[in-house]
Structure 1
Amino acid sequence: MSILKYLKESRLPIFIVVILLIVRVVANLTLPLFTSQIVNVGLQQGGIESPIPIVLTVETFKLLEGQFEDAERLKAAYDYDAEQGGYLLIDESQIGAEEMGSALARIRMSDPEGLSEQAAFQQIREEYIELGIDVGKLQNRFILKTGAKMVGVSIVSALSMISVAFFASRSAARFGQRLRKEVFTKVVSFSQAEMDNFSTASLVTRSTNDIQQIQQSFVMILRVVIYAPLMAVGGILRVMN
């Protein structure tokens, strides 16, 4: 444990390394989420993120009125737009996403339970097509937007990795410098009798190679040993959520 006293000057860089490792863990765990969004939302749902349509045809709006227990909430959420030729969403807070998705699925599939989420998004897609909205452009925009987020997160992950390497190496260098200084001071203070107990090669090895090995181990601890449990904890939390 006495070797830990040489880490006092490196407390701030070590703290920065831990923070950067947490940032890297979050970034690496976020990338699969974006990939999932591209597949689920971008491809399967055609870039439509919410089961609450931004616009409805008059026919679908009338059908939805019969699906809601409180049709007044639906009327408060949408307002007719003559130019668009349909009902535009003006207050999303009036209706729930799950409630709207189930209602749209029931309309499309005549399913009393409204269990098909994909049916709801397919219904929304057809609504948009009928009202002249370019669904292909909508899909491409979502994929490009999510892809840009992935690039940004990847850059953050790369920068954090580079920063961790920098601060870890710098901390290890200071750590090794202090050790070498202490070893040299100790060797110089030896009496002739004590010097006779050590060979010159042994003293040189202790001052150079041995400290170098400790320094490299210190870097590995900061870059890998700390990162692994953080990644494990982050993965568990991601699965639980």
Structure 2
Amino acid sequence: MNYKHPLISCICITGNRPLVLQRAIICFARQDYPNTELVISYPEEDLLSKTIIDQINSVSAIKIIRIVRPQYEKPCLTKNNAIEICNGDYVCFWNDEHWHHVNRLSDQYIVIKDSPFKASILMHILLYDFHQQKTYHSAYWEWQETLFCERKTLLEAAYIDIEREDDSGIIHFLSYKNFLFHFTEASHLYIYIGYGTKDKDQKLFNSYCKDGEIMEDINETVQDVIQLEYYLN
């Protein structure tokens, strides 16, 4: 391990979403933390993601590890495989549909460095309703999408093959062990973008916004930074 700057692996699980994937890759490339790799898992028939990764590799020096998975692989197996394959001392989950601040990795690492904690999670994030074009400050919650964790600890708590696709089991394990640092004042590090492509997803996102606080003063800034066109050049 490089004790000054241990390697952080960001795991991005995607599928046929080339535009948001490109934004996610650029958010990764702009991180101010100096020692990183990006592990991207996409289904074997997803030629769009393959093309985006090929293009990025041709013009950038960022380290990308690609995993081409079976088309109908279960999400828990996909995550376990990515954690097994990555090389990092730490793992950060990197949702391709959302936006990540340039300081996300460094800030989530520094709060657990030289501490008894093995993981950090954001307790407040920003929520952006794509259809209503409104920004909210989230309620206090363990936002699973923002998990940052020591890799060997994640390997201990491997994802179980169950119907539920969320990360509550992992969060419970980390909390039970008192390994989880709750990062309370860093909502700017993560923008959860609610596209509402499925009815159940939109209902869940609406409940998040209902519990949050509308943020009119930063709405224009949020709209600017998440614009896909900004990441296509």
TM-score normalised by the chain length of structure 2: 0.24
Task: Name whichever structure is richer in helix by fraction.
Answer: 1
Larger radius of gyration: 1
Return the structure number with greater relative CO, CA threshold 8 A, min gap 6: 1
Structure richer in strand, relative to its length: 2
TM-score by length of 1: 0.23
